[in-house]
Every structure is written in C-alpha cells, then in structure tokens.
C-alpha cells in the first residue's frame, strides 16, 4: 500500500502547479471578468427596474391627467347643456310672450269687430225702423186710397 500512497502523493505534487494555475486563473477571471460583468448586470438590472418604476409613475401620471381631462370634459358638457337649457327656457318665455301679445291683439280685434258689428246692427235696426214706418205709411195710403205707389216704391227691386 505504500506504493499507492507514494503515487497519490506524487500525483498531488504534480497537481500543485495545476491547482495554483487554476486558482490564479479563477482569481484573475473574478477580478477582470466576473466582477465587471456582475457590476454591469447589476447596473442594467437597476436601470431596468428604474425604467419600469418610471414607466409605472408615468402611467399613473397619465391616468391622473386622463381623469382630469375627463372631469373637465364632463364639466364643459354640463355647462353647454345648462346654457342650452337656459336658451331653451328663454326661447319658450319669448314665445309665450309673443303668443300672449298675439292673443291680446286678437281679442282686441275681435272686441273692436264685435263693437263695430253691434253699431252696424243698431244702425241697420234704426234704418229698418225708419224704412218700415215709411213703408207702412205708404202701404196704408195706397191701400186706403187705391192709388199707385209713389216714386216706384211698388217696383220690385233686384
């Protein structure tokens, strides 16, 4: 067994330069390659997380602005509707006023026409009373005297 122990010892001695080289290579690679690579990856990760955070913040700001604009839009629409309602009310009031004036004018015209018609009827009654009295006198004279009517009173008028 001594031979195996000696061979293992010799293999360890021969492996020492390889182990030293591998250790040196690991140290150099860590120092030159892996640390800068890790730093770059960490910075990239932080940047991407920061970009995501900024994007979320901007999205939140955009949503807030959209809500603001929506509120302003709703307020503007309500103002327009209230203005339209006010205009409609004023138009209805103006129309009602014009209708009242037209009714008052029509009533005045009707009353004037009724008054005029009543006056004409009264004049016609007066003329009829005069004419009927004159005709009655003429008829009585003609019937009692047997004479012909004077001034063509007996003629039929068309």
* pLDDT tens sequence across 65-74: 999 999 999 9
pLDDT in tens, 101-152: 999 999 999 999 999 999 999 999 998 888 888 888 888 888 888 766 556 5
Q: Does residue 72 fall inside a structural domain?
A: yes
Q: Does residue 78 fall inside a structural domain?
A: yes
Q: Does residue 32 fall inside a structural domain?
A: yes
Nearest-angstrom CA–CA distance, 114 and 107: 10
pLDDT at position 158, please? 44
pLDDT confidence of 46, banded at 50, 70, 90? Answer: confident
pLDDT in tens, 51-95: 888 999 999 999 999 999 999 999 999 999 999 999 999 999 999
Q: Does residue 80 fall inside a structural domain?
A: yes
Summarize the chain as % helix, strand, coil (round to 5). Answer: 95, 0, 5
Nearest-angstrom CA–CA distance, 75 and 81: 10
pLDDT confidence of 49, banded at 50, 70, 90? Answer: confident
Nearest-angstrom CA–CA distance, 97 and 91: 10
Query: Given a cut of 80, is residue 157 above it in pLDDT?
Result: no
More confident residue, 47 or 155: 47
pLDDT confidence of 3, banded at 50, 70, 90? Answer: confident
pLDDT at position 1, please? 56
More confident residue, 1 or 4: 4
Query: Given a cut of 60, is residue 11 above it in pLDDT?
Result: yes
147: phi then psi, degrees, rounded to nearest 5: -90, 170
Q: 142: Cβ–Cβ under 8 A, 6 or more apart, which residues?
A: 148, 149, 154
Q: Please count the structural domains in the chain.
A: 1
Q: Does residue 36 fall inside a structural domain?
A: yes
Q: Does residue 55 fall inside a structural domain?
A: yes
Q: Does residue 6 fall inside a structural domain?
A: yes
Nearest-angstrom CA–CA distance, 70 and 68: 5
Q: 135: Cβ–Cβ under 8 A, 6 or more apart, which residues?
A: 153
Domain range for 74 is: 2-112
pLDDT at position 94, please? 94
148: phi then psi, degrees, rounded to nearest 5: -80, 150
Nearest-angstrom CA–CA distance, 112 and 119: 10
pLDDT at position 2, please? 63
Q: Does residue 119 fall inside a structural domain?
A: no
Q: Which residue has the tokens 């250790």?
A: 23
């Amino acid at each position: 067994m001594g031979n195996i122990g000696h061979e293992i010892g010799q293999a360890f001695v021969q492996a020492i330069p390889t182990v030293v080289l591998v250790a040196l290579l690991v140290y150099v690679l860590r120092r030159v390659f892996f640390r800068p690579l890790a730093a770059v990856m960490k910075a990239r990760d932080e940047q991407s997380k920061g970009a995501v955070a900024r994007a979320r913040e901007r999205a939140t700001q955009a949503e807030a602005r959209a809500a603001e604009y929506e509120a302003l839009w709703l307020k503007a629409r309500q103002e327009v509707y209230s203005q339209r309602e006010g205009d409609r009310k004023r138009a209805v009031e103006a129309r009602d006023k014009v209708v009242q004036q037209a009714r008052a004018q029509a009533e005045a015209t009707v009353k004037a026409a009724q008054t005029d018609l009543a006056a004409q009827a009264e004049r016609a009654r007066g003329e009829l009373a005069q004419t009927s009295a004159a005709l009655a006198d003429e008829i009585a004279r003609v019937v009692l005297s047997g004479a012909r009517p004077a001034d063509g009173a007996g003629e039929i008028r068309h």
